[in-house]
Chain A
Amino acid sequence: MELIVALGLIVFKVALLIAILLLLPLPLTWVERKIAGHIQQRMGPMRVGWHGLLQPVADGIKLLTKEDHIPAEADRFLFKLAPILALAPPFVVFVAIPFGETVSVLNAEITLYVSNMNVALLFVFAVIGLEVYGVIFGGWAANSKYAVLGSLRTCAQMISYEIPMGFAVIGVVMLAQSMSLLEIVRAQADVWNIVYQPIGFFVFFVAGLAEAQRIPFDLAEAEGDLGAGFHTEYSGIRFAFFMISEYVIMLLVSVLAVILFFGGWNGVLIPLPPLLWFLLKVAFFVYLFMWFRFTFPRYRYDQLMAIGWKVLLPLSMANIIITGIIFS
């Protein structure tokens, strides 16, 4: 009986997580367009619903009813597989992400995470690396020069950014003496990691921007020079899959930044519910992503490579060494 309850709870949590993550891009697109509008002294969507609140729903209907077009010379199997490959890993990653300790519902303590892996951090980086396959396959299968160029850029970008990103979090692991995200957050109960690891956070955040393929590192889709990059030939719901994947990854990088460097659900000064603290911090990072997007220009391809290999990698190495010397 207990086993069934526990299993049911896990299934319920996973279902809830999937539902939230699938639906969250809807308000996020609205927020992004509003922020974009106001930064450019426009108003953003205003006509569908109150201040355009129903705009994402209208967009969703539009995407669902559009023709699902596959180019004539495309590799049909890979073309259909790519959006799923891009969509699945960001969702899988959230299995290992804790959103808080416990909440008590109906006299039962329910944990706010699906699983507490002892190698959660490793799992996160391993799985999130798979997302790039969707992008590469999508660009390759479409048989379009813009899409292939976008995919090529993604390959190079991922190689030069996964490594500094992985190195940047080693400092955090050294501080917490654990790879479990739960333990990492517990270790930050008094002082957040950002105090000890400013360089690590900087490297992680820049690499995270590249990981989420957002401006200033959105070379894979670069509207200006590549049409739409790897998803140039995609339309309808397959395009929506890529968009959802992009937003979920943005969310994931925000969540990781909060968990690894900003104390997770540990609050300061103002006593708020831990979950609320966590969500506020994540919202701030999501806003930061959008703010960056409408402020900075896109880096050139060679500049991106130079930053990745010549700046971020040595910085993250130095961070590991300094952390090792100080905290050993």
Chain B
Amino acid sequence: MSRARNTIGTWIGWTFFADLASGLSLTFGYMFSRPVTMQYPDKEKWLPYSRYRGHHFLKRDEEGEIKCVACELCARICPCYCIEVIPYEDEKGNRRPAKFEIDTARCLFCGLCEDACPADAIALGQQYEFSSFSSRDLVIGRDDLLAKPGKAATGGGVVSARLNTKKDVLVETNERQGYNWWRNIRRR
């Protein structure tokens, strides 16, 4: 009985286009909901999570000396052999890298160099905008690596920014939580 009534109800619904109307009302609601689009290069820039593995950077110690001791463990562990280190002895008698080159075109950003480093000298940062027209530009030397931005203490978030790959500036953010991609998606 109830099933028959349901069938009749369905037919009545079809007659008055209930299904089409519900579809229309759904899209109408979506039309006035917030877009999920992140206007990446123009207005917003996503600062990745702190665990994100982006461009490498070399750290300095308290005296401003490079932390790296040129042990070449990173070059040894690197699965794609993209790190090249040549050591030298500086005036204080410390072992330091004379040449420290990372071929970011070959690098797969696994972070093993960071794990292997005994001096906590190399780490993978959060910079992700370093595409280039020439693969030669992607071979990064020691001084460039020292100048690369470190990790921001806070997690990811959307910050209003202008795309600025020249200055290598990452924007600090106050948003503690990472960018929740799904927060704007309506669910029923």
Q: Judging by beta carbons under 8 Å apart, are B31 and A35 in contact?
A: yes
Interface flag for B30 (CB, 8 Å): yes
With A and B bound together, what is the CA distance between A35 and B33 in angstroms? Answer: 12
| A296/B185 contact (C-beta < 8 A), A38-B30, A41-B33, A46-B42 known | no
Separation in Å of the A296 CB from the closest CB of chain B? 7
Which residues of A175-215 are within 8 A (CB) of B?
A: none
For the complex with contacts A42-B36, A296-B23, 9 further pairs of A-B residues with Cβ separation under 8 Å are A38-B35, A39-B27, A41-B35, A41-B36, A43-B39, A46-B39, A47-B42, A291-B28, A296-B20
Judged by a CB distance under 8 angstroms, whether B24 is at the interface is yes
Name the residue of chain B whose CB is nearest to the CB of A34.
B31
**1/0 per residue B26-68: CB within 8 Å of A?**
1110111111110100100000000000000000000000000
B24 touches A295 (CB 8 A): yes
Q: Does B174 contact A (CB under 8 A)?
A: no
Q: Please measure, in the bound complex, the distance between the C-alpha atom of A291 and the C-alpha atom of B20, giving whole angstroms.
A: 12
Contact of A41 among B20, B42, B184 (CB under 8 A): B184
User: Knowing A294-B27, A295-B27 touch, does A43 contact B35 (C-beta < 8 A)?
Assistant: yes
Cβ-based interface call for A102 (8 A) = no
Q: Does A303 contact B (CB under 8 A)?
A: no
Q: Is A37 an interface residue (CB 8 A)?
A: yes
A41, A43, A47, A294: most-surrounded residue (chain B CB, <10 A): A41
Q: List 29 A-B contacts (CB under 8 A).
A: A35-B31, A37-B35, A38-B30, A38-B31, A38-B32, A38-B35, A39-B27, A39-B31, A40-B30, A41-B30, A41-B33, A41-B35, A41-B36, A41-B37, A41-B184, A41-B185, A42-B35, A42-B36, A42-B37, A43-B35, A43-B39, A46-B42, A291-B27, A291-B28, A294-B27, A295-B24, A295-B26, A295-B27, A296-B20
Residues of A223-239 at the interface with B, using a CB-CB cut-off of 8 Å, are none
**Shortest Cβ distance from residue B126 to the other chain A in the assembled complex, whole angstroms:** 26
In angstroms, Cα B42 to Cα A35, docked, is 21
For chain A residues 9-47, which have a beta carbon within 8 Å of chain B? 35, 37-43, 46-47
Interface of A is mostly: loop
B23 touches A295 (CB 8 A): yes
Q: How many residues of A contact B (CB 8 A)?
A: 15
Q: Bound state CA distance, A296 and B28, in angstroms?
A: 12
Given known pairs A35-B31, A38-B30, the reply for A43 and B37 (CB within 8 Å) is yes
Q: How far is the CB of A285 from chain B (nearest CB, A)?
A: 14
Smallest CB-CB separation from B29: which chain A residue?
A39
- What is the chain A residue whose CB lies nearest that of B41? A47
- Closest CB in chain A relative to B31 CB, distance in Å: 5
Distance from A319 Cβ to chain B, minimum over Cβ atoms (Å):
16
Which of chain A's residues have a CB closer than 8 A to the CB of B39?
43, 46
Which chain B residues border A47 with CB–CB below 8 Å? 42
Interface string of B71-109 (1 = CB under 8 A from A): 000000000000000000000000000000000000000
Q: Quick one: which of A38-64 are within 8 Å of B by CB?
A: 38-43, 46-47
Q: Complex formed: what's the CA distance from A38 to B27 in Å?
A: 9
The CA-CA distance from A195 to B30 in the complex, in Å, is 31
| A residues near B32, Cβ cutoff 8 Å | 38
The complex places the Cα of A310 from the Cα of B8 at a distance, in Å, of 21
Q: Which residues of B lie under 8 Å from residue A292 when comparing CB positions?
A: 24
**Minimum Cβ distance to chain B for residue A207 (Å):** 16
Contact code string A286-328 (vs B, CB < 8 Å = 1, else 0): 0000011011100000000000000000000000000000000
Measured between beta carbons, the chain B residues less than 8 angstroms from A295 are: 23-24, 26-27
Q: Name the residue among B26, B31, B34, B42 with the largest chain A CB count within 10 angstroms.
A: B31
Residues of B close to A39: CB separation below 8 A: 27, 30-31
When distances are taken between beta carbons in the complex, the residues of chain A under 8 Å from B34 are 41
| A35 CB contacts on chain B under 8 angstroms | 31
Q: How far is the CB of B37 from chain A (nearest CB, A)?
A: 5
Q: How many whole Å from B118's CB to the nearest CB in chain A? A: 48
A275 CA to B100 CA, complexed, in Å: 75
Interface string of A91-128 (1 = CB under 8 A from B): 00000000000000000000000000000000000000
Q: Specify the chain A residue showing the minimal Cβ separation from B32.
A: A38
